[in-house]
Amino acid sequence: MENKRVRVRFAPSPTGGLHMGGVRTALFNYLFAKKHGGDFILRIEDTDQTRYVNGAEEYIVNALKWCGIEPNEGVGFGNGPHAPYRQSERKELGIYRSYAERLVASGHAYYAFDTAEELEAMRKRLEAAKVAAPQYNAVSRQSMKNSTALSEDEVKKLMDAGTPYVIRLKVPRNEEIRFHDIIRGWVVVNSSQVDDKVLLKSDGMPTYHLAHIVDDIEMKISHAVRGEEWLPSAPAHVLIYRYLGLENEMPQLAHLPLILRPDGQGKLSKRDKSGLPMFPLNWYDERTKESYIGYRESGFFADAFINMLVLLGWNPGNNQELLSKEEMISLFSFERVNKAGAKFDPEKTKWFNQQYLKNKPNAELADLFAVKLKEKQIVATQTYVEGVCRLIKEKAHLASEFWELGAFFFQEPEKYDEVVIAKRWNSSARNFFIKLAEIWSASENFSHAVLEEKFKSTASENGIKPGEVMPLLRVLITGLAGGPALFETIELLGMAQTIHRLQRALHELPE
């Protein structure tokens, strides 16, 4: 057990797009597996056929790929020794039923024939009686329709008649259940708080509770890492392992703190007021006809996204915040995972992206930007686009801001910043720019150093302070009051374009 090979799984259910909370769970699993040279498995928990959403599974796979959190075994990533990895397919193996029947045979589970209405009636009755825990349990099961309360004959009759039934876990009435959680330490719960969980549904499908245990055992999972929302049902899971005689093979548990919404409180929801994405990729829900934007489409980089995510609930123990995936892997441990939930901060998320943006090679950014340019039907050389990226990346937080920031590199200004013009445009400025255009166009060297030198000397020759005409120069060339380093911008634009823009501005601006 202690020396068991590390095998962890990410086991989402395909009921919708994978949101960032799920991505973080996958990430922690992945990092832990890599750290220990183990396996990371993707298992699809599609036991609820009524909640299946088309495209969700594909989305999960694509999202993990984009994030660089790739399982080495499982749905979408190549079958390993424990295929299939989709529970709906594993059900065909009869595997879940056989485990459930094993529990019935040993007296730790039973058949229950209650209808939805009967269950509802029981709940109402218990609530009316002000029972602290109104649930199907050791007490209430005695007055319900199941094989612990009914005679053998009655059960047989119901069975023969084909009455739908479920198999429920027979939870003892009053017993202390202890289990160890890597992140939280020892947790103790009394079995009176645990209900007789349905293990096998009437459609023959297992519930999560049974299915994940069977699969974790069959797939030799060493650590079950999942969100805190599972903590309350963990005692039931311990009982299932115990009754199966598998308590010694049970995976170690690690319940991750939840990621909370940035505004107010509560679990992360699909949409948030901050306007920031909750999903890694765009997601369109066929059912609800709702679409959600993704980090990728919003201009975030996968590595920045992951970096932001990994620090939600975990830290490397030093003050380092920018971590490569390799660093995350070597530094990761559950000991450094927090217990408390974390609100994620949209501002800091952008800051992370900015840091990564600054460090990206211009060629890579240019490739990204090229897609947008193509959309705009703009033709430009790779070298030119790279130059543009070099200049604008210092000012951007998101790749999606490139067009807004750099459009003037590809099209002439349509208007000139009115504030600057109103404040500084006059006849002496006009004369200055006429001369500047002449001098620049006669220049053999159009490098930014030369441009700046000539700009300044021309200004002083005309008794003008450079600072007075500098803002104007930018406006005449770009139309805007602010932007990247001016002379570098002009150098990149080139002589022909620069002189053309200057003359055009001279022509359009009032005398």
Partner RNA sequence: GGCCCGUUCGUCUAGGGGUUAGGACGCGUCCCUUUCACGGACGAAACACGGGUUCGAUUCCCGUACGGGCUACCA
Q: Which residue has the tokens 């055009």?
A: 504
Smallest gap, in angstroms, from Cβ of residue 145 to RNA? 10
Choosing from 55, 76, 299, 341, the residue that interacts with RNA (CB under 7 A) is 341
Choosing from 331, 474, 477, 505, the residue that interacts with RNA (CB under 7 A) is 474
Smallest gap, in angstroms, from Cβ of residue 139 to RNA? 13
Catalytic pick among 270, 395, 454, 456: 270
Query: What is the bridge-based pairing of β-strands 166-169 and 198-200?
Result: antiparallel
Residue 78 is a binding residue for RNA (CB under 7 A): no
Q: Which residue has the tokens 């374009």?
A: 497
Q: For RNA, how many residues bind (rule: CB under 7 A)?
A: 86
Smallest gap, in angstroms, from Cβ of residue 40 to RNA? 18
Smallest gap, in angstroms, from Cβ of residue 181 to RNA? 8
Write the binding mask 207 to 226 for RNA: x where contact by CB under 7 A, - elsewhere: xxx--x--------------
For residue 170, indicate whether it is catalytic: no
Choosing from 62, 233, 274, 443, the residue that interacts with RNA (CB under 7 A) is 233
Nearer to RNA, 249 or 321 (CB): 321
Distances, alpha carbon 419 to alpha carbons 56, 412, 416, 475, 480, in Å: 51, 19, 9, 10, 10
Write the binding mask 344 to 373 for RNA: x where contact by CB under 7 A, - elsewhere: xx-xx--x--x---x---------------
Smallest gap, in angstroms, from Cβ of residue 37 to RNA? 25
Residue 203 is a binding residue for RNA (CB under 7 A): yes
Residue 481 is a binding residue for RNA (CB under 7 A): yes
Choosing from 8, 13, 61, 144, the residue that interacts with RNA (CB under 7 A) is 13
Q: Are 354 and 322 in contact (CB under 8 A)?
A: no
Residue 484 is a binding residue for RNA (CB under 7 A): yes
How many C-beta atoms surround the C-beta of residue 423 within 10 A? 12
What size, in residues, is the chain? 511
Q: Are 196 and 141 in contact (CB under 8 A)?
A: yes
Q: Which of 242, 247, 248, 252 is nearest to 222 (CA)?
A: 252
Give the interface segment with RNA, choosing from 72-80, 293-301, 307-315, 429-437 (CB under 7 A): 307-315
Tokens of 401: 């801001």
Residue 312 is a binding residue for RNA (CB under 7 A): yes
Give the interface segment with RNA, choosing from 74-82, 282-290, 481-489, 502-510 (CB under 7 A): 481-489
- Residue 198: its H or E element: strand 198-200
How far is the C-alpha of 498 from the C-alpha of 510, rounded, in Å? 20
Give the interface segment with RNA, choosing from 204-212, 361-369, 378-386, 501-509 (CB under 7 A): 204-212
In 3-state terms, what secondary structure has residue 506?
A: helix
Q: Angle at which helices 302-310 and 346-359 pack, to 10 degrees?
A: 130
Q: Exposed, middle or buried by CB within 10 Å (0-12, 13-18, 19+), for 449?
A: exposed
Cβ contacts of 498 within 8 Å, gap of 6 or more: 440, 446, 477, 490
Choosing from 116, 128, 379, 442, the residue that interacts with RNA (CB under 7 A) is 116
Residue 285 is a binding residue for RNA (CB under 7 A): no
Smallest gap, in angstroms, from Cβ of residue 377 to RNA? 28
Residue 315 is a binding residue for RNA (CB under 7 A): yes
Choosing from 459, 486, 492, 493, the residue that interacts with RNA (CB under 7 A) is 486
Residue 406 is a binding residue for RNA (CB under 7 A): no
Could you tell me how far CA 251 lies from the centroid of its own chain? 25
Could you tell me how far CA 321 lies from the centroid of its own chain? 18
Choosing from 7, 8, 12, 369, the residue that interacts with RNA (CB under 7 A) is 12
Write out the binding residues for RNA, residues 130-159 only, by CB under 7 A: 132-136
Residue 162 is a binding residue for RNA (CB under 7 A): no
Residue 37 is a binding residue for RNA (CB under 7 A): no
In 3-state terms, what secondary structure has residue 113?
A: coil
Count H helices, E strands: the chain?
20, 14
Residue 176 is a binding residue for RNA (CB under 7 A): no
How far is the C-alpha of 455 from the C-alpha of 440, rounded, in Å? 8
Residue 424 is a binding residue for RNA (CB under 7 A): no
Give the interface segment with RNA, choosing from 6-14, 66-74, 99-107, 297-305 (CB under 7 A): 6-14
Nearer to RNA, 98 or 338 (CB): 338
Q: Are 292 and 270 in contact (CB under 8 A)?
A: yes
Choosing from 4, 48, 95, 443, the residue that interacts with RNA (CB under 7 A) is 48
Residue 483 is a binding residue for RNA (CB under 7 A): yes
Query: What is the bridge-based pairing of β-strands 283-285 and 290-292?
Result: antiparallel
Write the binding mask 441 to 470 for RNA: x where contact by CB under 7 A, - elsewhere: -------------------------xx--x
Give the interface segment with RNA, choosing from 71-79, 97-105, 180-188, 276-284 (CB under 7 A): 180-188
Choosing from 338, 382, 428, 445, the residue that interacts with RNA (CB under 7 A) is 338
Query: According to DSSP H, which parts of 116-233 are helical?
Result: 116-128, 152-160, 208-218
How far is the C-alpha of 337 from the C-alpha of 254, rounded, in Å? 10
Q: Which of 368, 360, 352 is nearest to 393 (CA)?
A: 360
Cβ contacts of 207 within 8 Å, gap of 6 or more: 47, 197, 198, 199, 200, 201
Residue 114 is a binding residue for RNA (CB under 7 A): yes
Point out the residues that are catalytic. 270
